[in-house]
Every structure is written in structure tokens, then in C-alpha cells.
Amino acid sequence: MSTPTTTSSAAPTSAPGLNWARNHRYAARTLHRPETLEQLRHVVAGARRVRALGTRHCFNDVADSPGDLVSLEALPAPVEVDSAAGSVRVGAGTSYGVLAQRLHEQGWALRTMASLPHISVAGAVATATHGSGDRTRCLAADVRALELVGADGELRRVERGREEFAGSVVALGALGVVTALELDVVPTYQVRQDVYSGLSFEAFTANFDAVTSAAYSVSVYTTWVGGDTAQVWLKTRLSDSAEAPAELFGARPAPEPLHPLPEVDVRNATEQLGVPGPWHERLPHFRSSFQPSNGEELQVEHLVPREHALGAVAALRELGPSLAPLLHMCEVRTVAADDLWLSPAHERDAVAFHFTFKQRQREVLAALAHVEEALAPFSPRPHWGKLFVADAATLAARYPRFADARALVARHDPGAKFANAFTDRIGLTG
């Protein structure tokens, strides 16, 4: 490990190490930890190849670099609410858990949260990470503006309504190092969480729209084998309804709190049994106070157009027996359409199938090829931070603005400073 430096033009450095799931060792030579914006600009301007590294929660090499990596964890992390505008400016490396707590203290909230509140705002936005809800778009759809350091080390700002904005928000780190974001906020609200068990596949498919609209946010968990799904999580805004249904198409409320993965300590999950609480303590599945260790899991997620949901469910049920030895659980969620060029929900309401596999990567990748083949008739788009095997031609055909995104990257980074093996492999660069 190199000796840390603290001059005005340099930043402390170290070796990058492993990602959260320990299935990827970063190839970058050095991880910089700038403590000021000027140090960050100096690092970016002086590097031949460089990328931003967030909270390491990606399961592939999207955040890696053939040159250097830069972390924003030591930079100042503002959380500045503009009540008149209904917005907040937040440091890019800030976690959603920290942002949510600061917002709630000031009477404000986000419309949605991802399952894990420990991920950074910039990382989640760059990969179009999402929560759940028929009317809820991905986290990136709430971005009003981005501030980022470009290839020349200069700071620029991209605002909603401006040309190129829709291609700059979900950009996979290929346009530069994002330093701050402005997000839409709404007045704070209360949520109750109720978990049900015993929903049969027959009832789920026969009442798909009614199940996914039964609350503000709905998650259905399944292993794709047997006659019943495993769990249904309903997160209800108290302004929408104060009461949970006594039963959900045959499913009954769980008598005690549950974790999505039965073998994991339930104390890590957010509070259930209908106890009302602040939005940021109910919308995620896991508590901010729970610090996840290295994950003994691999994650895969594909989003298909909502109109193909039942076809996708049927295809995955056929694969169920072959997936069972590798699968911990699969979560089914809905996401509303947005206009961001590289969002998996671009211009289409989507249903997301999020797989949590055991940490057996070679076998999981082999199984993943079968999953993508089974979903191919339904035009699946992968979550950019999870494992997938689709090639560049396949991906480009599923994103109407993919060529525009590629041209945008080439225009702002002609020297490919922010390119890496991942962006080359998917056809965004290279």
C-alpha cells in the first residue's frame, strides 16, 4: 500500500481491493481519496484512465478502471434543502441512509428508497437502481441536476430540461466523476409495513395488477418452485390507507417479523407487523443501523415490460427446478417508466425480477445464460450493477437511445478517460 499524501495537489491513496460481494477484485492500480474538490480535479485531470468508486455494491466490473479509481468518501458531503424549490443538493458519495435521516429531520422525504440504504446516491443514480411501486420511478428519475468533473478536470453542471440531460443521469460513470446532485423532495410521510405468506402462484398470476397495486410499494418473493410464493411485502403510506387488508387473495398476515432470506437474522429487516414509522425506516427492506458485511451472495436483475409480466413469470417457473440449487430468493417488483436513455425502465413501465443467488459464480453465470434465454422473448434489460451475460448488440437493440448515449460519451470523453472493460463490453465505449 502506498504512503498516504496530504498535499493540496495530491490525495491519500491505497490499493482498491475487493467489491462488497468479494466476487470481483478491482484491476485499478490505485484508489485515490481526495479530501477537497481541487484535489479531485487534479487527480482526474492528471490520470490517463480513471473512474469513480462508490460503496462497492456492484456485482460486476462497472466501477473498475484499467487505470486509477477515485473515492469521494473523504470529500465534504453537503445535504442542503431548498424548501421553496422542493429540492436537496447532496454530495455524490453520501449514502441514502444518511441523506434520508437528514431530510426527515427537516420535514422532507424522497419518493422511494432502494432495498439497502447503505448505497451511495451517485452510484445508485448512475446504474438506475430502484425501489418498488406501480407509480414509482427509479431513484435517478428524481435527479434535477448533476455536478461532475470532466476529462479535463473542469467542473460542469447538467440540469433537467437541458439538452443531453436524459443521457447524462444514468451514464454508468462514463461522462466523468459526479460530485453532487440535486434531487426532488416531497413532505415527509409515514409508512406501515405488513408481510403476508401463502399467496399461491395461481392467485398471484390471476390477480397480478391487484397484488402489485395493493400498497405504495409491493415486493413478492419466490423461489420459483412449489405452489406458493414465499412472502409478499406491502409498504403503505398512511395518507393512502391506514388499514392493511385482512387477507391478500388467500395470503394471510405473517404473525411475526420475517426476513426475505429465511436463514438471515430478522433483526436486520425493517420493522413490520403494521407498526407505522417514518418513510426512510420502512421503504428499505433493511435497517440503516445494520452494517452489512461482505455479502455471501450474487445478484442478478432483469426488467421486462409490464405487459409481458405473466409470460416472464411462466418462463421462470419452468426454470425453477434448475435454479433451485443456486437460488436464495427472487424478488418481483414493479417500476414506473422514465425518460432516461439508459434506464432499464426507459419509456416503459417495468416488472423487475431480482435474483439473489448463492456465491457460486461459475455456476450462476451458466444458469444466468438460461435465465436470459428464457426471458429473451420479453426484451429484458439488466440492472447495470448486477451480473448479466447479454452482449453489446443485444443491449443496443433494447435501448432506443443507446446510440445517442454512445455519441454523448464520445463527445464529452473523446480520449476514453472514463471508459473501462465494462463500458467497452456493452458497447457504450470502445
Per the listing, cell 448533476 goes with 146
Joined together, the cell numbers standing for residue 360 give 457460486
Does residue 269 form part of some domain?
Answer: yes
Q: How much is the pLDDT for 295? A: 66
Q: How much is the pLDDT for 90? A: 98
Domain range for 121 = 79-188
For the cut 60, the answer to whether the pLDDT of residue 8 exceeds it is no
Q: How much is the pLDDT for 9? A: 59
The pTM score is 0.94
CATH number at 358 reads 3.30.70.2520
Q: How much is the pLDDT for 291? A: 67
Can you tell me the mean pLDDT for 144-157? Answer: 97
Share of the chain above pLDDT 70, in %: 96
Does residue 5 form part of some domain?
Answer: no
Q: How much is the pLDDT for 240? A: 78
Are 232 and 150 in a shared domain? no
Per the listing, cell 460542469 goes with 156
Supply the DSSP symbol for 219.
E
CB count within 10 Å of CB 164 equals 16
Poorest-confidence range of 225-234, 284-293, 324-333, 346-355? 284-293
Say if CB 132 and CB 218 are below 8 A apart.
Answer: yes
Last residue within a domain, chosen from 134, 157, 188: 188
Supply the DSSP symbol for 140.
G
Per the listing, cell 448488440 goes with 393
H helices present in 169-255, as ranges? 201-206, 208-212
Does residue 351 form part of some domain?
Answer: yes
Are 224 and 131 in a shared domain? no
Q: What is the mean pLDDT of the chain?
A: 94
pLDDT, tens digit, 9 for 90 and up, residues 169-219 = 999 999 999 999 999 999 999 999 999 999 999 999 999 999 999 999 999
Q: How much is the pLDDT for 335? A: 98
Helix (H, G, I), strand (E, B) or coil at 45: helix
Least Cα distance to 216 among 282, 307, 124, 286 occurs for: 282
Q: How confident is the model at residue 96 (pLDDT cuts 50, 70, 90)?
A: very high
Are 26 and 132 in a shared domain? no
Least Cα distance to 185 among 74, 109, 254 occurs for: 109
Residues 6+ apart with CB under 8 A from 274: 192, 193, 194, 244, 253
Q: How confident is the model at residue 13 (pLDDT cuts 50, 70, 90)?
A: confident
Does residue 254 form part of some domain?
Answer: yes
Q: How confident is the model at residue 241 (pLDDT cuts 50, 70, 90)?
A: confident
H helices present in 11-120, as ranges? 37-46, 96-105
Q: For residue 334, give Cα distances in angstroms to 133, 219, 253, 287, 304.
A: 5, 8, 21, 22, 10
Q: How confident is the model at residue 2 (pLDDT cuts 50, 70, 90)?
A: very low
**Phi, psi (5° rounding) for residue 106?**
-105, 10
Are 178 and 255 in a shared domain? no
For the cut 80, the answer to whether the pLDDT of residue 6 exceeds it is no
Residue 227 CA, chain-centre distance (Å), reads 30
CATH number at 56 reads 3.30.43.10
Say if CB 222 and CB 230 are below 8 A apart.
Answer: yes
For the cut 50, the answer to whether the pLDDT of residue 111 exceeds it is yes
pLDDT, tens digit, 9 for 90 and up, residues 338-395 = 999 999 999 999 999 999 999 999 999 999 999 999 999 999 999 999 999 999 999 9
Does residue 143 form part of some domain?
Answer: yes
Joined together, the cell numbers standing for residue 185 give 423532495
Are 174 and 95 in a shared domain? yes
For the cut 60, the answer to whether the pLDDT of residue 294 exceeds it is no
Are 121 and 137 in a shared domain? yes
Q: How much is the pLDDT for 3? A: 32
Q: How much is the pLDDT for 262? A: 82
Say if CB 139 and CB 130 are below 8 A apart.
Answer: yes
Helix (H, G, I), strand (E, B) or coil at 382: strand
Q: How much is the pLDDT for 14? A: 83
Are 295 and 262 in a shared domain? yes
Least Cα distance to 387 among 138, 169, 127 occurs for: 127
Integer-rounded Cα Rg, in Å, for the chain is 21
Last residue within a domain, chosen from 168, 188, 208: 188
| Domain total in the chain | 3
Q: Is the dihedral of CA 312, 306, 333, 368 positive or negative?
A: positive
Can you tell me the mean pLDDT for 274-286? Answer: 95
Are 50 and 94 in a shared domain? no
Does residue 3 form part of some domain?
Answer: no
Least Cα distance to 138 among 279, 286, 394, 339 occurs for: 339
Last residue within a domain, chosen from 130, 160, 188: 188
Cα(427)–Cα(430) distance, integer angstroms: 7
Does residue 274 form part of some domain?
Answer: yes
CB count within 10 Å of CB 39 equals 23
Are 168 and 36 in a shared domain? no
Are 209 and 180 in a shared domain? no
Q: What is the DSSP string of 153-180?
A: S-EEEEETTSTTHHHHSS-TTTT-EEEE
CATH number at 125 reads 3.30.465.10
For the cut 80, the answer to whether the pLDDT of residue 288 exceeds it is yes
Q: How confident is the model at residue 10 (pLDDT cuts 50, 70, 90)?
A: low
Beta bridge mates, 155: 149
Does residue 151 form part of some domain?
Answer: yes
Q: How much is the pLDDT for 11? A: 73
Can you tell me the mean pLDDT for 418-422? Answer: 98
Can you tell me the mean pLDDT for 116-129? Answer: 96
Are 231 and 314 in a shared domain? yes
Are 114 and 234 in a shared domain? no
Q: 286-293 — which CB contacts under 8 Å span 24+ positions?
A: 286/115, 286/116, 286/117, 287/117, 288/95, 288/97, 288/98, 288/100, 288/101, 288/117, 288/118, 291/118, 292/20, 292/116, 292/118
